[in-house]
Amino acid sequence: MAETQTKTEQENQNPEEFLANFDWHNYEEGIEKVEDEKLKEFEKLVEDNFVDTADEEVVEGVVIHLTDREAIIDINAKSEGVISLNEFRYNPDLKVGDKVEVLIDVREDKTGQLVLSHRKARTIKAWDRVNAAYDNGEIVNGFVKCRTKGGMIVDVFGIEAFLPGSQIDVKPIRDYDQYVSKTMEFKVVKINHEFKNVVVSHKALIEADIEEQKKEIISQLEKGQVLEGVVKNITSYGVFIDLGGVDGLIHITDLSWSRINHPSEVVELDQKLNVVILDFDDNKSRIQLGLKQLQKHPWEALSDEIKVGDKVKGKVVVIADYGAFIEVAEGVEGLIHVSEMSWSTHLRSAQDFVQVGDEVEAVVLTLDREERKMSLGIKQLTPDPWTDITTKYPVGSKHEGIVRNFTNFGVFVELEEGIDGLIYISDLSWTKKIKHPSEFVSVGDKLEVEVLELDVEGRKLSLGHKQTTENPWDKYETEFGVGTVHTVEVNEIVDKGATINLNEDIVAFVPSRHMEKEDGKKLKKGETADFKVIEFNKEFKRVVASHTAIFREQEEKNVKTASNTSVEKTTLGDLDALAELKQKMDKEKK
């Protein structure tokens, strides 16, 4: 009715008035014109409530629907967005109504659907959070995903960060696997923007607390104080103990009263034990601890019944050149000097008698409880072989011994354990000239000997080897005496003469002037000639021979014979002359 009236009014309206009031904008655009104020108000409303999908920024959306593969997200845009559920694998509990951060990945796909990315949004936001945590020194939560070379991989805000093994704890970590799949607090200590690397530390969080504890502990430290600690590290020279933020060292010598080869024989890692503070430096940064000092000294616990002359048993713990240390009780050691290991006066190495670890029996020789020293002996367990030495080894008796050692002047021969004798080098052979005993015998050889001298008080035995055989020089004195002649070959040309071998034992010397032959030339090496012995000394085993004496003697004989003949002829001639002279004188007288 109203519409009919309007049309009637329009039809009855003045044409000029109608044209003047006609809305040409609505006629051209097909819509009614909106007032400017209302248009601005509408634009502001859209700007405040709807997302501009052209901007690549992270926005918050709401899950409005879930399918088997996708999540439908409302971000207040012209249309809803879609995100694959693969991007929410870290959050299996995702449900409708949850708020999530998204980044507009594709404004519209082929179907006109808005495609969003939660993963990219999460990464962008994560880097923002990590950078903020690093700049502000904030503590962040991280999920330890797995082990890797040198440390662990930690998920921090969706970013994989590296946790070095040295930054897990203040103490060394041996089992990394115990941290896998745990959520822990961390501090971001390094960011490499170029390579997108993040390094976190758990150690940095507890160091501050420990530093406070350390100051408190150090301020209360006193020598002699007993504290509880945990074995933190074991080395060959000692054990490091964690006293609750402060480390101290127990040297290996302060672990046990007994000798040990390695600290692991006494303690083990992570073991709790009480220790005593022995010393520390001025700033208490180096703390020396002791473990054995908490126990009574073994010498104080040593039985009062042990006295000099008693037999004790123990284990060889150390061997030195001069003897062996025997642990007769835990922490109580006695020394067996090498001279107390055998009755022999010829000293040998302690290793010839005992080895480390051997269980031995010994006699207590000295005992000083105040000085905590004890000397022991092994040889006292057997009778002294020198007790009846004169009966067993009288002078002139012959025996067989074993060569034990050399000196430059002779050989030590063992007749039995504890009975050693010396053969001087001059008593080894009647005929051989020996410069060193090793030329004649070897260590370990059996040798026939004769007792030459016996000093019971000095425990010395003088032996001889050559005396066990007849002296060949007795018969050589006759066979090769002065004046005997022998046909032999010149053996060697030596300084000032030559040598010849009269037999296997006798080497004679021929002086140069006695090498001259009858023709004036000298004998050479290898020539055979007659030699006359001109000197024979049995005591010094010296024989001197001469070739020249052979023909010189003959010459002398010839000269003597000629001289005698001349004298005879002269004498007879003189007699005849005298006879003639006498006859002549007689005639003159008549």
Q: For 24-82, what is each residue's pLDDT tens digit? A: 555 555 555 555 565 565 455 544 444 444 445 778 888 888 888 888 888 877 667 88
Type of residue at 206: I
Q: Are 454 and 389 in contact (CB under 8 A)?
A: yes
Mean pLDDT of 465-471: 87
State residue 189's pLDDT score: 86
Residue 398's beta-bridge partner residues?
450
State residue 202's pLDDT score: 86
Closest CA to 187 of 170, 169, 171, 205: 205
Check pLDDT > 80 for residue 245: no
**512: number of Cβ within 10 Å:** 14
Closest CA to 333 of 342, 324, 341, 343: 324
As a whole-number percent, the residues of the chain with pLDDT over 70 amount to 81
Q: Are 264 and 204 in contact (CB under 8 A)?
A: no
* CA–CA separation, 34 and 45 (whole Å): 15
Angle of CA points 125, 169, 189, to nearest 5°: 35
State residue 402's pLDDT score: 92
Answer with the residue of higher pLDDT: 30 or 156.
156
Instruction: Find all residues with CB under 8 Å of 417, minimum gap 6, and list them.
Output: 342, 343, 344, 382, 385
State residue 412's pLDDT score: 92
Q: Torsion over CA of 300, 305, 308 and 312, rounded to 10 degrees? A: -90
State residue 559's pLDDT score: 58
State residue 447's pLDDT score: 92
Would the pTM of this model clear 0.75, i.e. be above it?
no
- Tell me the average pLDDT of the chain: 80
Answer with the residue of higher pLDDT: 204 or 589.
204
